[in-house]
Amino acid sequence: MSEHSHDTFTPPGPDPDATYDPYAGVRETTEGPVYTVTGQDWGDVVDAAVAGQERMVINMGPQHPSTHGVLRLILELDGETVTEARSGIGYLHTGIEKNLEYRNWTQGVTFVTRMDYLAPFFNEAAYVLGVEKLLGITDEIPPRANVIRVMMMELNRISSHLVALATGGMEMGALTVMTNGFRERERTLDLFELISGLRMNSAYFRPGGVAQDLPPGAVESVREYLRWMWDKIPEFEAFCNENPIFRGRTVGNGYLDLAGCMALGITGPVLRSTGLPWDIRKTQPYCGYENYDFDVPTRDTADSYGRFRIRVDEMKESLKIVEQCLDRLEPGPVMVADKKIAWPAQLAIGSDGMGNSLDHIRHIMGESMEALIHHFKLVTEGFRVPAGQAYVPVESPRGEIGAHVVSDGGTRPYRVHFRDPSFNNLQAVPAMCEGGMVADVIVAVASIDPVMGGVDR
């Protein structure tokens, strides 16, 4: 047996150097052996279909538009009835969790923000709160930084739910709600760009606080957005609440009761559609959420209709929280006082975009050798985190996202693993879809609102 015998083995025959791959046919050419990879588990799935009956096994995706290009659903059909459904994932694998082991703790934020790319601030929050817990500085985060974090997360919740409503409507043929949803999302992303410098993947949350304070005019822009958004939500309510076509597609579709959710580890709107008001912001508050007045919307329908209604209601609750954030903003720092941890840059937005303020550059380059050395060490090497491990969950638009952060006492993570809600929620596809029609699969998956960047990581 070769040293890679767990993958390949050398069969007896005239050419002992040739390798055999159970997943790929091989043919000899003048250039050497050529392997043709087959569908891996596809043959097993087809063989498992009941022989002698008129049943088909088909792929829905990963190229199907309603699976957003990177989710593969393997369906066994009896006519148009789904008799078996399986999710195939891994088409968007990025290796983010592994990459974190090769970057310092602050650089890790730029990786985790790209996982669930529709909810980047929640990825950052879970990771950053885990790092702060290991550092023991959770209670030292400036109040202004926590208020800004809450405000950005709730604005992000709105933008994410808008995509869920827009794409869900599009997949049911409602193109108007799709254009409206993305129109409103653009206004939300404009706020992200104003405050953090980027529309998506901002890496704005940092261990110890946030990257920079709110720029001039940000508070006024957010208040104007709130007034504008309160006028737009009734359009989505008109689409979701009593529209007979929408109700016909969603009521009773994708049914999953509380027992099923508990057995599969389902969280978020899917869980709350069963009537259970489970929300991490209420049950295990973080970033000061216990000081905000808001409700946890629930339904008792346990179907796709209830999940869409919950998302519309949650957008209104998020607007209320953002209003409270603006009232709570008080002058103060946005980064922890400990200079051994605080990111040393002093960002500013100037005519040439975003970068270090000129005063900061003048200080470290021309006034203080110690400041220059400190800046260089903290940026290139990073701070050390005491050995240990921590798990911190936050409530993302799709449910509980948690970061399990492990440190060996060095300047880089030993291991970071995310509990992503889309990964868990996709386990509900068979329970929601089997016994229903092919057309109902699209609606059921849309009601889960999976983001494959968070599933594959």
Q: Is residue 65 part of a domain?
A: no
Query: What is the number of other CB atoms lying within 10 angstroms of the CB of residue 261?
Result: 25
> Is there a single domain that holds both residue 9 and residue 109?
no
Span 107-157, pLDDT tens digits: 899 999 988 889 999 999 999 999 999 999 888 899 999 999 999 999 999
Same domain, 317 and 451: yes
Highest mean pLDDT among 85-99, 195-209, 249-263, 389-403: 389-403
Task: Provide the mean pLDDT of the chain.
Answer: 84
Please determine, for residue 10, whether its predicted confidence score (pLDDT) is greater than 50: no
Question: Would residue 191 count as lying in a domain?
Answer: yes
Among 27-36, 54-63, 246-255, 270-279, name the most confident range.
Answer: 270-279
Kindly state the tokens that stand for 427.
């386990």
Question: Minimal CA–CA distance to 163: which of 367, 397, 443, 396?
Answer: 397
Residue 367 domain flag = no
Going across the sheet that includes 72-78, the strands are 56-60, 72-78, 81-88
- Give the model's pLDDT for residue 455: 87
Q: Are residues 159 and 16 in the same domain?
A: no
Find the range with the poorest average confidence among 36-50, 174-188, 304-318.
Answer: 36-50
Does one domain contain both 308 and 445? Answer: yes
On whether both 171 and 104 belong to a single domain, the answer is: yes
Count of domains for the chain: 2
11 and 121 belong to one structural domain: no
Kindly give the residue spans of alpha helices, DSSP state H, lying in 27-119.
Answer: 42-48, 96-99, 108-112
| Judgement on whether residues 34 and 155 belong to the same structural domain of the protein | no
Q: Under DSSP, is residue 59 helix (H, G, I), strand (E, B) or coil?
A: strand
Same domain, 16 and 145: no
- pLDDT-based confidence at 1, cuts 50/70/90? very low
Q: Residue 218 is which amino acid? A: A
Report the pLDDT value the prediction gives residue 216, as an integer from 0 to 100: 87
Asked whether residue 170 is domain-assigned, the answer is: yes
Q: Are residues 231 and 114 in the same domain?
A: yes
> Who has greater pLDDT, 99 or 14?
99
pLDDT in tens, 189-202: 999 988 888 888 88
Residues 33 and 148 in one domain: no
Q: What is the number of other CB atoms lying within 10 angstroms of the CB of residue 438?
A: 15
Q: Is residue 206 part of a domain?
A: yes
Highest mean pLDDT pick, 33-47, 86-100, 145-159, 232-246 = 145-159
Question: Which residues span the domain enclosing 3?
Answer: 1-38
Q: Tell me the pLDDT tens digit for each residue of 264-314.
A: 999 989 999 999 999 999 999 999 899 999 999 999 898 889 999 999 999
Same domain, 105 and 24: no
Residue 239 maps to a domain:
yes
**Would the pLDDT of 328 be above 50?**
yes
Note whether residue 50 is domain-resident. Answer: no
